[in-house]
């Protein structure tokens, strides 16, 4: 059984590699688009539904990051733990009463998640294009392949780009961006949004 699993994984990796080699422009375009979408779509949803962004800034401490990494002050494990939670940039919308209407933080885990998501969807569309070409050459399955690509495109927007993220201004730990945008509705609705985000992410 273990040998069969290794063989299946090996075939999958080779298939993905062939698709990326055959469709590098498609892979790069989709990956870049999904990465940018993961950053911009939450900001757009929150700005339209709640309040526009008031300011955005990079973490000013980043200029000292190389110095910290090469220093011998802390052990390697502590440095890695620090990097795993390091905030890179944040977008804030002010509230004159409460201080912060909402905030969107981009940290190292966010960048890793955005990059992985971008790679997965870039690889998916590269594989889809290769499969569609094979189906067209064989005269079968073209309609199904086209529909599958459409579903993937829709889910890339609503399943991943509005999934749970690093946000401020809400009281639900795992809350999708759309849930934050409508904060103030009943708790049952917020729980529904939270579960929907998990289901959408897991499904894709």
Give the pLDDT confidence score for residue 182 in this predicted structure: 47
Contact between 107 and 89 under an 8 Å Cβ cutoff? The reply is no
- pLDDT tens figures, 93-108: 887 877 778 788 888 8
CA distance 189 to 54: 28
Domain ranges of the chain: 2-50+111-203
The answer to whether 19 and 123 have CB atoms below 8 angstroms apart is yes
Say how far apart CA 96 and CA 152 lie, in whole Å.
41
Q: What is the pLDDT of residues 129-166, one digit of tens each?
A: 888 887 777 665 555 545 555 555 555 555 555 554 55
Question: What confidence score (pLDDT) does residue 149 get?
Answer: 54
Whose tokens are 């290794």? That residue is 6
Residues 6+ apart with CB under 8 A from 57: 89, 90
Residues lower than pLDDT 70 in the chain: 1, 138-204
Which of 11, 15, 35 minimizes the C-alpha distance to 127? 15
For 133, the token pair is 């070409």
Q: Pairing mode, if any, of strands 167-168 and 99-107?
A: antiparallel
Residues counted in the chain = 204
Closest-CA residue to 91 (of 49, 58, 63): 58
* pLDDT score, position 143: 54
């Amino acid at each position: 059984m273990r040998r069969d699993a290794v063989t299946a994984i090996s075939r999958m990796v080779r298939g993905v590699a062939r698709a990326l080699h055959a469709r590098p422009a498609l892979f790069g375009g989709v990956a870049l688009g999904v990465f940018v979408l993961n950053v911009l779509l939450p900001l757009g949803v929150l700005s339209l539904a709640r309040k526009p962004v008031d300011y955005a800034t990079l973490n000013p401490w980043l200029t000292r990051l190389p110095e910290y990494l090469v220093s011998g002050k802390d052990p390697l494990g502590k440095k890695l733990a620090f990097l795993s939670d390091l905030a890179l940039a944040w977008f804030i919308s002010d509230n004159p009463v409460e201080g912060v209407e909402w905030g969107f933080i981009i940290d190292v885990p966010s960048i890793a998640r955005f990059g992985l998501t971008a790679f997965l969807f870039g690889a998916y569309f590269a594989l889809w294009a290769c499969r569609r070409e094979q189906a067209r050459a064989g005269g079968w399955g073209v309609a199904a392949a086209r529909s599958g690509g459409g579903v993937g495109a829709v889910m890339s927007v609503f399943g991943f780009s509005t999934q749970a993220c690093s946000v401020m201004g809400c009281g639900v730990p795992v809350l999708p961006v759309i849930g934050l945008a409508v904060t103030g509705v009943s708790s049952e609705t917020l729980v529904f949004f939270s579960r929907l985000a998990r289901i959408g992410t897991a499904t894709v």
